[in-house]
């Protein structure tokens, strides 16, 4: 009862930020909205390539990388998973300007990126621990413009993604994190019920050569189950509290 009451309150807030009139607006872009999709691809390129080139690590993507494509209005960062009918594209605008985005690849309708490139045999690894290893999804390509980092924008986007999982009847979602970030995730996993798929780091050389990653999953559960109640109490509600405490962009 407490879990569902919290979900109701949170969904009311998410509905407010989905209004076009909201200065901080979150939209799930339709596959037919090519203009908004191109805004996402250009934002990715800006954050992942242009801005990265100015950092200490530099731009990790070679000119012939499979995600770098020339669009009608400049360079874009995209791949074939973006074109799948069941992929969800979340775009956050602040005062009309695209400032953050992510996508969710729905594993109920086909393999995830890590499976196609044989980085991890995800379904085989999680099969002993979940009800349906084919009911999975993966959020990826999470980007945020420098102007909104440290604000409530990314936590708000994360909340909308958690709601997307429930709306689309996803029972488990997958996460890939840089190996150096695993200690932080280990701390997070103590209360958020994050479970690790990999015991050792793996390399996703097709995406970024030499980058070491770890993989985890979170159970969303089915409606009316203990797993769903647990998800609402240990993921959705704490995420909403964190979002509520963070400052809005200016």
Asked if residue 208 is part of any domain, the answer here is yes
> Residue 161 has what pLDDT?
98
For range 43-60, the mean pLDDT: 96
Asked if residue 87 is part of any domain, the answer here is yes
**CA 232/CA 238 separation, integer angstroms:** 9
Contacts of 236 (CB under 8 A, 6+ apart): 6, 7, 10, 159, 162, 163
For range 39-44, the mean pLDDT: 99
In tens, the pLDDT along 135-162 reads: 999 999 999 999 999 999 999 999 999 9
Residue of 232, 219, 226 whose CA lies nearest to 136:
219
For range 225-232, the mean pLDDT: 93
Contacts of 21 (CB under 8 A, 6+ apart): none
SS3 state at 189: helix
Look at residue 103 and tell me whether its pLDDT is greater than 80: yes
Asked if residue 250 is part of any domain, the answer here is no
Question: What CATH number did the domain enclosing 45 receive?
Answer: 3.40.630.30
DSSP one-letter code for 17: H
For range 9-32, the mean pLDDT: 95
Q: With bands split at pLDDT 50, 70 and 90, how would you rate the model's confidence at 190?
A: low
% of the chain exceeding 70 in pLDDT: 98
Q: With bands split at pLDDT 50, 70 and 90, how would you rate the model's confidence at 183?
A: confident
Q: Where are the alpha helices (DSSP H) in 88-225?
A: 113-116, 122-126, 153-167, 182-192
Q: With bands split at pLDDT 50, 70 and 90, how would you rate the model's confidence at 130?
A: very high
Look at residue 40 and tell me whether its pLDDT is greater than 70: yes
The tally of domains found in the chain comes to 1
Q: Is the CB of residue 7 less than 8 Å from the CB of residue 152?
A: no
> Residue 60 has what pLDDT?
95
> Residue 6 has what pLDDT?
81
**CA 43/CA 144 separation, integer angstroms:** 8
Q: With bands split at pLDDT 50, 70 and 90, how would you rate the model's confidence at 180?
A: confident
Look at residue 249 and tell me whether its pLDDT is greater than 90: yes
For range 43-67, the mean pLDDT: 96
**Residue with token string 């429930």:** 166
Asked if residue 29 is part of any domain, the answer here is yes
pTM score? 0.95
Asked if residue 37 is part of any domain, the answer here is yes
Look at residue 22 and tell me whether its pLDDT is greater than 90: yes
Residues in the chain: 250
SS3 state at 124: helix
For range 243-250, the mean pLDDT: 95
Domain interval for residue 59: 2-245
CA distances to 51, 57, 74, 160 from 54, in Å: 5, 8, 19, 30
**Residue with token string 């890939």:** 176
Look at residue 2 and tell me whether its pLDDT is greater than 90: no
Q: Which structure tokens are listed for 71? A: 């669009």
**CA 47/CA 126 separation, integer angstroms:** 32
For range 89-112, the mean pLDDT: 98
């Amino acid at each position: 009862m407490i879990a569902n009451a919290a979900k109701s309150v949170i969904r009311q807030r998410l509905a407010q930020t989905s209004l076009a009139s909201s200065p901080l607006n979150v939209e799930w872009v339709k596959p037919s909205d090519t203009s908004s999709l191109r805004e996402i691809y250009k934002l990715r390129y800006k954050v992942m390539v242009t801005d990265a080139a100015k950092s200490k690590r530099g731009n990790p993507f070679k000119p012939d990388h499979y995600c770098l494509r020339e669009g009608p209005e400049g360079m874009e960062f995209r791949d074939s998973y973006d074109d799948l009918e069941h992929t969800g594209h979340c775009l956050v605008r602040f005062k009309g300007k695209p400032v953050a985005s992510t996508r969710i690849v729905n594993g109920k309708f086909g393999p995830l990126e890590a499976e196609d490139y044989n980085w991890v045999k995800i379904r085989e690894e999680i099969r002993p621990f979940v009800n349906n290893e084919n009911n999975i999804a993966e959020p990826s390509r999470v980007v945020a413009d420098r102007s909104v980092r440290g604000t409530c924008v990314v936590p708000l986007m994360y909340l909308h993604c958690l709601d997307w999982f429930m709306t689309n009847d996803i029972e488990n979602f997958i996460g890939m994190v840089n190996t150096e970030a695993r200690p932080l995730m280990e701390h997070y996993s103590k209360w958020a019920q994050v479970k690790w798929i990999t015991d050792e780091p793996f390399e996703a050389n097709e995406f970024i050569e030499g980058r070491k990653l770890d993989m985890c999953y979170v159970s969303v559960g089915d409606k009316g189950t203990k797993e769903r109640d647990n998800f609402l109490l240990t993921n959705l509600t704490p995420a909403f509290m964190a979002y509520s405490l963070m400052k809005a962009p200016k």
